[in-house]
Amino acid sequence: MTTPAIIWQDRSTICPDRIKQKIEDRINTQHSSYSKWYIFLVDELSETVNQEITSLAEEEKENAACLVLFRTKPGEDTLHLLHLPINGLVSLHTAASQTELVIADIAAYGCFIEGNLHYLICNYLDKNHWSKKRIRHLKLDRDKPYSILTHVEHEILQSILEGKSNTDIANKFHFAQSTVSVKINKVLQKINAFDRTEAVRKAIQFGWVHSVR
C-alpha cells in the first residue's frame, strides 16, 4: 500500500502535535484510493479561509481527500462548503476522539460530517426546498445500498429506519430473535455503525434515504 501524502493547511494554533500524529497514523494505515489528504485546521471561517478551501477543493478533485477541522462544532455558516468536493467537516474534538471512524468513513464512503450538521442540513432543506408537510417516514433507496448490503440486509435496515423492534422484524420476516440480532449486527458492521441510531444517521449521510411526506 502506497503511503499517501498528507498536507496540513494550518490556519489555526489549536491542534496539538499528538492529535496531528494520531490522524496521520490512521491515514497511513487506512486503505483508501486517495493519494493525498489535505487537512485544513480552522479556528473560524473567514473570506480568506473560504477562498483557500474553495480553490483547493476545486483544483484537487481526483485522488485527493479534503478534510476541514474546526476548533468547535461546525455550524450553519459552514453548510455552503458542502457544495464543494469536500470529504469531511468535523470538529477537532470529534477528529481526536473518533479518528478511526472519521478516516475509515472518508476512505470507504468519501464523506464524514459532524453529527450536528445532519440536523442543520435537514432544517435548511425543510426551510428552503421541501414542502411544509411533515415527514411520514424514511424510505431506503432501492439501488444505492446494494453494493454493500444484501437484499435481506437492505430490508433489515429499512425496518430500522421505521423504528421496528427486533420482535417486529422477527415476526415480519419469520426469523428467530437470535437470527434478527445477528443480521442487525451484520448491517451495523458493514456500514460501520455502533448502534441503530447511528445506522439511521449513516444511511442518511450516505444519501441512501429519502423522506416520504
- Angstrom distance (rounded) from CA 4 to CA 64: 9
Cell of 196: 441503530
pLDDT in tens, 14-41: 788 899 999 999 999 988 888 899 998 8
pLDDT in tens, 184-204: 999 999 988 888 878 887 888
Residue listed under C-alpha cell 440536523:
119
Confidence band, pLDDT 50/70/90 cuts, at residue 137 = low
Contact 6, 37 (CB under 8 A): yes
* Structural domains of the chain in order of their starting residue, each with its CATH number: 5-124 (no CATH), 132-212 (1.10.10.10)
pLDDT in tens, 142-159: 777 767 889 899 999 999
- Which residue from 28, 27, 22, 35 is spatially nearest to 61, judged by alpha carbons? 35
Question: In three state form, how does the secondary structure of 145-164 look?
Answer: HHHCCCHHHHHHHHHHHCCC
Residues forming a β-bridge with 139: 210
pLDDT in tens, 74-96: 888 888 787 777 888 898 888 99
